[in-house]
Amino acid sequence: MLPAEVGSGDMGTTQIANEVIAVIAGLAATDVRGVADMSGGVVGGIAERLGRKNLSKGVKVDVSPDERQCSIDLSIIAEYGFRIPDVAMEIQDGVKRAIEGMTGLEVTAVNVNVLGISLRHDEVEERDKLRG
């Protein structure tokens, strides 16, 4: 993953690593109501069990060859009770806005993959009480 060169001038160049773009996308996505967590698969799960927080978990970044555009693939765990298409649309808007605003790259696509559903802790407790 080569860094995206987003600027150059008399003083030098500015490059942004794909990992930085992924962190921006992950943080923007988890700010959306209805997103319980990002899903990083087996590798992300192992890293978390070892005590390392991976802020780019569940995010894949592709920067165009001309380094002016990027596309983002996100894998999320949605919260139960939220309308998934609405959550996905809000994620797409927020991620696009955050990346374009912070990096100057044009975001051509934000693909949201919902890999699971999560109940909030209080809902699990309530459900368990009802089941007795």
- Calculate the average pLDDT of the chain: 86
- Closest Cα to residue 116, out of 65, 63, 62, 76? 76
**Contact between residue 91 and residue 30 where contact means Cβ atoms under 8 Å apart:** no
Q: What is the mean pLDDT of residues 100-127?
A: 87
Confidence (pTM): 0.80
pLDDT band of 121, cuts 50, 70, 90: low
Is 50 exceeded by the pLDDT of residue 47? no
- Closest Cα to residue 109, out of 67, 52, 58, 64? 64
Superfamily of domain 4-131: Cation efflux protein, cytoplasmic domain (3.30.70.1350)
pLDDT of residue 113: 98
| Range among 36-50, 54-68, 109-123 with highest mean pLDDT value | 54-68
Report CA-CA distances (Å) from 88 to 29, 40, 54. 9, 17, 21
Could you tell me the residue ranges of all domains in the chain? 4-131
